[in-house]
Amino acid sequence: MEDVIAREVIYGENPDGSQIEIIVEIGAPHPYKDSENEWVCASQVRGLSWQKHRIHGGSALQALCLSLQSVRWALNAFREDGGKLGYEIGQDDFDLDVVFGTGNLPERS
Protein backbone atom coordinates (compact mmCIF):
# COMPACT_ATOMS: atom_id res chain seq x y z
CA MET A 1 0.00 0.00 0.00
CA GLU A 2 1.31 3.47 -0.85
CA ASP A 3 1.80 6.37 1.59
CA VAL A 4 1.41 4.30 4.77
CA ILE A 5 1.12 6.63 7.77
CA ALA A 6 0.38 3.99 10.42
CA ARG A 7 1.25 0.31 10.67
CA GLU A 8 0.64 -2.18 13.48
CA VAL A 9 1.49 -5.88 13.70
CA ILE A 10 -0.70 -7.95 15.99
CA TYR A 11 -1.26 -11.65 16.32
CA GLY A 12 -4.50 -13.52 16.10
CA GLU A 13 -5.68 -16.89 17.23
CA ASN A 14 -8.54 -18.43 15.27
CA PRO A 15 -11.26 -20.33 17.13
CA ASP A 16 -9.58 -23.59 15.99
CA GLY A 17 -6.35 -22.52 17.76
CA SER A 18 -4.35 -21.72 14.62
CA GLN A 19 -2.16 -18.61 14.85
CA ILE A 20 -2.02 -15.78 12.30
CA GLU A 21 -0.08 -12.56 11.88
CA ILE A 22 -2.31 -9.54 11.26
CA ILE A 23 -0.82 -6.41 9.70
CA VAL A 24 -2.92 -3.24 9.87
CA GLU A 25 -1.96 -0.36 7.58
CA ILE A 26 -3.54 3.06 7.11
CA GLY A 27 -2.68 5.23 4.12
CA ALA A 28 -2.52 9.00 3.93
CA PRO A 29 -5.80 10.63 2.88
CA HIS A 30 -5.72 12.34 -0.50
CA PRO A 31 -8.20 14.10 -2.79
CA TYR A 32 -10.26 11.76 -4.92
CA LYS A 33 -9.64 12.44 -8.62
CA ASP A 34 -8.54 16.04 -7.91
CA SER A 35 -11.83 16.78 -6.16
CA GLU A 36 -11.95 19.50 -3.51
CA ASN A 37 -14.98 17.94 -1.80
CA GLU A 38 -14.16 14.23 -1.80
CA TRP A 39 -11.22 12.52 -0.14
CA VAL A 40 -10.13 8.89 0.02
CA CYS A 41 -8.11 6.99 2.61
CA ALA A 42 -6.87 3.43 2.09
CA SER A 43 -6.76 0.87 4.87
CA GLN A 44 -5.77 -2.75 4.93
CA VAL A 45 -5.91 -5.61 7.43
CA ARG A 46 -3.69 -8.36 6.05
CA GLY A 47 -4.13 -11.78 7.63
CA LEU A 48 -7.91 -11.60 7.85
CA SER A 49 -10.35 -12.12 5.01
CA TRP A 50 -10.87 -8.34 5.13
CA GLN A 51 -8.51 -6.80 2.60
CA LYS A 52 -7.66 -3.33 1.29
CA HIS A 53 -10.45 -0.76 1.28
CA ARG A 54 -10.58 2.78 -0.02
CA ILE A 55 -12.87 4.79 2.23
CA HIS A 56 -14.35 8.05 0.89
CA GLY A 57 -15.26 11.12 2.91
CA GLY A 58 -16.08 14.79 2.51
CA SER A 59 -12.74 15.84 4.01
CA ALA A 60 -9.33 14.34 4.74
CA LEU A 61 -10.24 14.05 8.42
CA GLN A 62 -13.52 12.28 7.73
CA ALA A 63 -11.92 9.81 5.31
CA LEU A 64 -9.18 9.05 7.85
CA CYS A 65 -11.64 8.59 10.74
CA LEU A 66 -13.92 6.35 8.68
CA SER A 67 -10.94 4.30 7.58
CA LEU A 68 -9.85 3.79 11.20
CA GLN A 69 -13.39 2.82 12.17
CA SER A 70 -13.51 0.22 9.40
CA VAL A 71 -10.29 -1.35 10.72
CA ARG A 72 -11.76 -1.45 14.21
CA TRP A 73 -14.88 -3.10 12.80
CA ALA A 74 -12.81 -5.81 11.08
CA LEU A 75 -10.80 -6.58 14.22
CA ASN A 76 -13.91 -6.56 16.40
CA ALA A 77 -15.71 -8.92 13.98
CA PHE A 78 -12.76 -11.33 14.20
CA ARG A 79 -12.99 -11.28 18.00
CA GLU A 80 -16.80 -11.64 17.97
CA ASP A 81 -16.38 -14.74 15.79
CA GLY A 82 -14.28 -16.31 18.57
CA GLY A 83 -10.82 -15.05 17.64
CA LYS A 84 -8.24 -13.63 20.01
CA LEU A 85 -5.97 -10.63 19.38
CA GLY A 86 -2.64 -9.97 21.06
CA TYR A 87 0.66 -8.16 20.81
CA GLU A 88 2.42 -11.53 21.01
CA ILE A 89 1.49 -15.00 19.79
CA GLY A 90 -0.89 -16.74 22.19
CA GLN A 91 -1.97 -13.63 24.06
CA ASP A 92 -5.35 -11.89 24.13
CA ASP A 93 -4.29 -8.42 25.29
CA PHE A 94 -5.07 -6.19 22.30
CA ASP A 95 -7.66 -3.80 23.75
CA LEU A 96 -9.73 -2.20 20.99
CA ASP A 97 -11.01 0.53 23.32
CA VAL A 98 -7.49 1.54 24.32
CA VAL A 99 -6.20 1.57 20.73
CA PHE A 100 -9.21 3.18 19.03
CA GLY A 101 -10.83 4.97 21.97
CA THR A 102 -14.19 4.28 23.52
CA GLY A 103 -16.03 7.00 21.67
CA ASN A 104 -16.85 8.64 25.02
CA LEU A 105 -15.34 12.05 25.54
CA PRO A 106 -14.27 13.13 29.03
CA GLU A 107 -16.44 15.68 30.81
CA ARG A 108 -15.34 19.26 30.51
CA SER A 109 -14.63 21.02 33.77
Summarize pLDDT for 21-63 with one digit per residue, the tens: 999 999 999 999 988 889 999 999 999 876 788 999 999 999 9
pLDDT of residue 108: 73
Instruction: Please report which residue ranges of the chain form alpha helices under DSSP H.
Output: 60-80, 96-100
Secondary-structure breakdown of the chain: helix, strand, coil percentages, each rounded to the nearest 5: 25, 35, 40
Neighbours of 33 (CB within 10 A): 6
Across 50-54, 71-75, 103-107, least confident range = 103-107
